[in-house]
Structure 1
Amino acid sequence: MQLSQYTKEFKYNWQLAAPVMLGMLGHTFVSFVDNIMVGQLGTAQLAAVSLGNSFMFIAMSLGIGFSTAITPIIAESDAANDFKNGKSAFKNGLFLCTVIGVLLFLLVFLAKPLMYLMQQPEEVVTLAIPYLDLVAVSLIPLVVFQAFKQFSDGLSMTKFPMYATLLGNVINIVLNYMLIFGKFGMPEMGIVGAAYGTLVSRLIMVWYLWYLLKGREKSKAYVTNIKFFILDKLMLRKLLDLGAPSAMQMFFEVAIFTAAIWLSGLLGKNPQAANQIALNLSSMTFMVATGLSVAAMIRVGNQKGLKAYHELRRIAFSLFLMGTLMATVFALFFFAFHAYLPKIYVDFDDVKNLADNTEVVSIASNLLIAAAIFQISDSIQVLVLGALRGLQDVKIPTLITFISYWLIGFPVSWYFGKADQLGSFGIWTGLLAGLTTAAILLYIRFNYLTKRLILSNNKS
């Protein structure tokens, strides 16, 4: 097949993926601004936000991962013009996401004492606990927002979650500035101010996305007259069957990056702060790949609904190619600017903390080289996972992610991440090993499944 058969899909892929990317980048940009603002307070405060968010990332991975079950069912129902099935998927998905949001809040709230058992720097734990109290509450509106977002994505209406996210980001940044530093007559609350900004912005995001969807003809009937407690057991089971493995896939990946935060904490507050900088920068490029992954889930789900398996495979490969090209550009960018990007996060005019800040920048610069290397494998694995979710194939990919990250990646991070080995760079070597393994195995799975679908369709 000629290259143009794939590249001609780039325009529509971009139209679907760009709003998702911007919305996801918006989330990450807020974290970027938070880190820069908090970084001005000192490396201990930056490490505390990193430690607190490590608990949040694990909980968010479960909530967001579960919510992705809504998108392929909505996409398939939309292509088949089956409104009843689509409405059922959304309503039952919204119910489950609300319950999961409450459970995740309780889980994080009750898990705080673990910080003292993890041998993290004591001053970092003391700062992190009040921050985590508030941010944990914001899990409830975040997971509810994800239910609306995944539904909207499933209808190929990817712009509306982006608008809601951008509004939430603006509110978050303004509130952070006011509450962290005590501007415009507000109390100076330090990192607790950042937590208040996060909570308020997430509540507003839920309301605004619902308001946008209610005003559109295509989505209005879905998001109004919701009989919240009249549930369909078969749809609940289908969502759980799809959502639970998807949640575990995301959990296994996010958990290894979270483990990197904890392992960095064993090396001290400066390696932990450096890890947060590199993680924040690399997560921005990951959000671009995630946008393409959502496009893959939608487009593959549509083609599955139409039973057009040749087209399904061609479109998926166009997305894989597009993601690889973009990841290559990001890899070159990180290589070129690895020494300069971390300097954005610290204040070199702060004479008192100059030695700490210099060490943080030096460590983070090295970590960005590792981040540059794993750009391509990270992009491929998340794109292929999106395509597999579009096929509603989730159980084998869950096993693949567990093997890749926890039987291969984590042991490498644990062994080489010790102070007498490679330190912080060794931790990120394990991330590279896990992501590369996942990319290869998931691609093999997708290739096998799509060939089998085409073959069985030809026989019938």
Structure 2
Amino acid sequence: MVLTQYTKEFKYNLNLAAPVMLGMLGHTFVSLVDNIMVGQLGATELAAVSLGNSFVFIAMSLGIGFSTAITPLVAEADSENNFAKGKSAFKHGLFLCIVLGIFLFLMLLLAKPLMYVMDQPVEVVKLAIPYLDLVGFSLIPLIIFQAFKQFSDGLSLTKYPMYAAILSNLINVILNYLLIFGKFGFPEMGLVGAALGTLISRVIMVFFLWWLLRARDKSKAFVTNIKIFVLESPMLKKVINIGFPSAMQMFFEVAIFTAAIWLSGTLGQNPQAANQIALNLSSMTFMVATGLSVAAMIRVGNQKGLQNFIELRRIAISIFLLGIVLAVIFALIFLLFHKVLPTIYVDLDDPINAIDTREVVSIASTLLLVAAVFQISDSLQVVALGALRGLQDVKIPTIITFISYWGIGFPVSYFCGKEDALGSMGIWLGLIAGLTSAAILLYIRFNYLTKKLILNKE
């Protein structure tokens, strides 16, 4: 009977989270298709995409993390039926996301020379730089899209960002096929073609989501007649106060995975390519947990607006349990198919690169065993972060994520990931240490806060 008070929420939570999961999985699927297509060109090209994306992912984490400030503010206003407050949160969030997108693109341009001093293979760097230029520019429409997405999620309209993501992903796959390999009369552009396809699809994604929201009664008034330059200091500060720590939380996590890419690059292009395969597969399961995190943010934000803290805690715990159940399922899939999954990324029939291919598959298979272990930790930490953002508690969680990933996880990766130590396996053991620490500490924080809120209300 005690368990059913949580499990009865599973269906509603899945219905709310499913469009977010599918939209996020769509993005990851495109990355999967990109990697498969690029993998046909060779291990060097795959490693170059990995290196270029490692820079983009850091910048993207800041933009996406910052945009999450919009969701709890809009969700709280929605439960209060306060239109003016909700539109103000969206407008100020949109303005800040536009500014941040431009800033991050410029920072990426300035960061390119770092590739030459990072002990990465020279042939990989030469291919990665032109790829980075276009994918870096695509951050601007992506972060603008995130502002609209987080607003839409805050109104519990999670389907529309999914529709936009699906359209964008289809366009991206088609353009990549045409431009990477030069099909149907299009120029053969290789990695640059993959980057150009990403840029075009992200621009279309923004306009399509705006069009969908404009056609919906609940959201039309929010996304039309936006006086983007008429700003108020209190709301700007509120969005920044939630957005900046949220950005840093995501940055700390993405940065340690990026560090794993760089550390694996020092071991050679084959370990780096294998690392990219394992990360790409892991990121697909992570997107499911991210969908639950958004559901936690929305539902906790709604209950915060209603000041119903007992219900808030019950709903959040139900989402934690659902996340753990799904994580166990994914862990079993990784364990059962760890030797099969990496083979979809490489051309097993290529005699020229046969030795490299076998090494890449062997390393990636081992890393998937480690990835299976951290599924539960990864799921719990991201869902707990979503619940805490719904409570608009972001400062202490930021400190927790920094300590977990950089005080605990990175030192383990650095010392155990050297060639004369455990190599790629050691790098991923550090990821397990960081994610598990974050999951435990963030749950303790949520448990403490919700119990305190319930006691104070009584």
Give the TM-score normalised by the residue count of structure 1. Answer: 0.99
Q: 1:136, 1:291 → 2: CA distance?
A: 25
Q: Structure 1, residues 115-145: CA drift from partner, whole Å, max 9, x if none? A: 0010100000000000001111000000000
Q: Paired residue for 2:29?
A: 29
Q: 1:352, 1:182 → 2: CA distance?
A: 22
Aligned pairs, number: 458
> Which amino acid in structure 2 is aligned with residue 48 of structure 1?
A
Q: Structure 1, residues 391-421: CA drift from partner, whole Å, max 9, x if none? A: 0000000000000000000000000000011
Query: SS of the counterpart of 1:112?
Result: helix
Q: Paired residue for 1:243?
A: 243
Give the TM-score normalised by the residue count of structure 2. Answer: 1.00
Q: Structure 1, residues 7-58: CA drift from partner, whole Å, max 9, x if none? A: 1101110110000000000000000000000000000000000000000000
Q: Paired residue for 1:2?
A: 2
Q: Paired residue for 2:290?
A: 290
Q: 1:307, 1:88 → 2: CA distance?
A: 21
Q: Paired residue for 2:189?
A: 189
Q: Paired residue for 2:107?
A: 107
Q: 1:171, 1:110 → 2: CA distance?
A: 30
Q: 2:198, 2:110 → 1: CA distance?
A: 20
> Which amino acid in structure 1 is aligned with residue 420 of structure 2?
D
Q: Paired residue for 1:149?
A: 149
Q: 2:326, 2:11 → 1: CA distance?
A: 14
| Aligned residues: CA RMSD | 0.4
> Which amino acid in structure 2 is aligned with residue 92 of structure 1?
H
Using the TM superposition, give the Cα deviation of residue 109 of structure 1 relative to its aligned residue in structure 2, in angstroms. Answer: 1.1
Q: Structure 2 stretches of 5 or more lacking a match?
A: none
Q: Does 1:89 align with 2:112?
A: no
Q: 1:289, 1:88 → 2: CA distance?
A: 29
> Which amino acid in structure 2 is aligned with residue 333 of structure 1?
I
Q: Structure 1, residues 35-86: CA drift from partner, whole Å, max 9, x if none? A: 0000000000000000000000000000000000000000000000000000
Over 3 Å off, 4+ runs: none
Q: 1:356, 1:72 → 2: CA distance?
A: 47
Q: Paired residue for 1:340?
A: 340
Q: Paired residue for 2:415?
A: 415
Q: Structure 1, residues 77-127: CA drift from partner, whole Å, max 9, x if none? A: 000000000000000100000000000000011100000010100000000
> Which amino acid in structure 2 is aligned with residue 166 of structure 1?
I
Using the TM superposition, give the Cα deviation of residue 348 of structure 1 relative to its aligned residue in structure 2, in angstroms. Answer: 1.1
Q: 2:338, 2:214 → 1: CA distance?
A: 45
Q: Paired residue for 1:140?
A: 140
Q: Paired residue for 1:322?
A: 322
Q: 2:440, 2:424 → 1: CA distance?
A: 25
Q: 1:222, 1:111 → 2: CA distance?
A: 37
Q: 2:64, 2:133 → 1: CA distance?
A: 20
Q: Paired residue for 2:361?
A: 361
> Which amino acid in structure 1 is aligned with residue 113 of structure 2?
P
Q: 1:379, 1:357 → 2: CA distance?
A: 31
Q: Structure 1, residues 242-267: CA drift from partner, whole Å, max 9, x if none? A: 00000000000000000000000000
Q: 1:276, 1:89 → 2: CA distance?
A: 37
Q: 2:70, 2:184 → 1: CA distance?
A: 42
Q: Paired residue for 1:170?
A: 170
Query: SS of the counterpart of 2:266?
Result: helix
Q: Paired residue for 1:312?
A: 312
Q: Paired residue for 1:455?
A: 455
Q: Structure 1, residues 284-304: CA drift from partner, whole Å, max 9, x if none? A: 000000000000000000000
Q: Paired residue for 1:68?
A: 68
Query: SS of the counterpart of 2:229?
Result: coil
